[in-house]
Amino acid sequence: MKRNILVTGGAGFIGANFVRHMLESSDETRVVVLDSLTYAGNLENLSGLDEGRLKFVKGDITDSAVVDALFVDEKIDAVVNFAAESHVDRSILGPKAFIETNIMGTFVLLEAARKTWTSPEALKSCRFVHVSTDEVYGSLGDTGYFTEETPFSPNSPYSASKASSDHLVRAYFHTYGLPVLTTNCSNNYGPYQFPEKLIPLMVLNALDGKSLPVYGDGKNVRDWLYVTDHCKAIEAVLDKGRTGETYNIGGRCEMQNIEIVKLVCKEVDSLIEFDEGLSLRYPYEKPRETLIKYVTDRPGHDRRYAIDCDKIERELGWKPEVTFEEGMKKTIEWYVTERAWWEKILSGEYLKYYDAQYGNRG
């Protein structure tokens, strides 16, 4: 089916992977990316794509004039809403941008869809997929899983803002019959992830022989999913999901943070053995594990996330395909090869933010 998909936040980590996936997966798809290019947005994430089927618009999802015009001018019949402030630590330092983008921005998008998709045909054929997080469910103890029925219990300004947006999306279905779908996914990793998140941060610091800051006792658990698996799940929801429903997405891959950090250390050590420091500019003779530093815990740090993704597997036939071992290999290789991509990021404002939290990165 020919579609004009508005992908908000398409220059960010998951958004860019999704745009790449969708343009590859069907010749019939045209993508309009709306992204305000915050510190986390990067046009290089979209480089090399078919410009005939991709349009980039620099703009803010909270700007209703821009959003309303795009819906009409680009004949948008599907939305995938990735645009968000996405980093928990930043939400603790400064929640305002999270409230504005994650709540108000989602509201503006929903309103534009409500104003534009008015005919019965449009309400039948159009789709609005809202990409959300498992963090809305709060924290688990040692056992149990988040299902679509788990009550919301967000603990950080980030997760509270995402939970608010999820509620708005739900309300637009029940009140206005808008054809919405929501996904709640676990932790992603893979190419193009901004190096403030656990895995790329540890990979880059390990490559360059810098300290590896582990929060608290390092035993918090996350459920990891390779980013292309997430993109395929969103595609399945967009194509086949039932409107008004929410779908949990996860990797069935629970890991303690410290296990991940140790695994990164092992992988980077083994790369160095073979690489002789050719692409690793700062070879470091001692095992990478000696770089691990336990630091003050994140306030309100959720202990464990684990997703029950039975519903999407059963209803839509989606399953995670990439094992954690394969995914980590691909991810580390990508960061080793794409040094220019992340060195540019580390040369700018981001480093100042990082140093303010942890002291000098070195």
Contact status: 9 vs ligand NAD (CB under 6 A) = yes
Contact status: 331 vs ligand DAU (CB under 6 A) = no
Among 201, 236, 238, 291, binds ligand DAU (CB under 6 A): 201
Question: Which strands, in side-by-side order, build the sheet including 221-226?
Answer: 187-189, 221-226, 254-256
SS (H, E, C) 172-191: HHHHHCCCEEEEEECEEECC
Residue 213 near which of ligand DAU, ligand NAD, none (CB within 5-8 Å, type-dependent) = ligand DAU
Question: Which strands, in side-by-side order, build the sheet including 29-35?
Answer: 54-58, 29-35, 3-8, 78-81, 127-133, 180-185, 246-249
Cβ 78 to ligand DAU, closest distance in Å? 22
Q: Give the DSSP per-residue string, 314-359.
A: HHH-----S-HHHHHHHHHHHHHHTHHHHHHHHTSHHHHHHHHHHS
Among 42, 220, 248, 331, binds ligand DAU (CB under 6 A): 220
- 88 or 112: whose CB is closer to ligand DAU? 88
Active site residue 338: no
Residue 70 near which of ligand NAD, ligand DAU, none (CB within 5-8 Å, type-dependent) = none
Cβ 30 to ligand DAU, closest distance in Å? 27
Active site residue 158: yes
Contact status: 136 vs ligand NAD (CB under 6 A) = no
In 231-249, which positions are buried (b, 16+ CB within 10 angstroms) versus exposed (e)? bbbbbbbbeebebbbbbbb
In 318-351, which positions are buried (b, 16+ CB within 10 angstroms) versus exposed (e)? bebebebeebbebbbebbbeebebbeebeeeebe
Cβ 184 to ligand NAD, closest distance in Å? 7
Chain positions 80 to 119 lying near ligand NAD, rule: CB under 6 A, are 82-86, 101, 105
Among 180, 185, 272, 332, binds ligand NAD (CB under 6 A): 185
Residue 201 near which of ligand NAD, ligand DAU, none (CB within 5-8 Å, type-dependent) = ligand DAU
Contact status: 229 vs ligand NAD (CB under 6 A) = no
Residue nearest to ligand DAU (CB): 133
Identity of residue 78: A
Contact status: 213 vs ligand DAU (CB under 6 A) = yes
Identity of residue 345: I
Chain positions 120 to 139 lying near ligand DAU, rule: CB under 6 A, are 133-135
Q: Give the DSSP per-residue string, 98-140.
A: HIIIIIIIHHHHHHHHHHH--SHHHHHH-EEEEEEEGGGG---
Active site residue 282: no
Cβ 305 to ligand DAU, closest distance in Å? 5
127-133 and 180-185 beta bridge pairing: parallel
In 107-117, which positions are buried (b, 16+ CB within 10 angstroms) versus exposed (e)? bbbbbbbbebb
Which chain residues interact with ligand NAD by CB under 6 A?
Answer: 8-9, 11-15, 34-38, 40-41, 60-62, 82-86, 101, 105, 131, 133, 162, 185, 187-188, 194
Residues designated catalytic: 134-135, 158
Contacts with ligand DAU by CB under 6 A lie at: 86-88, 133-135, 186-187, 197-198, 201, 213-215, 220, 222, 257, 298, 305
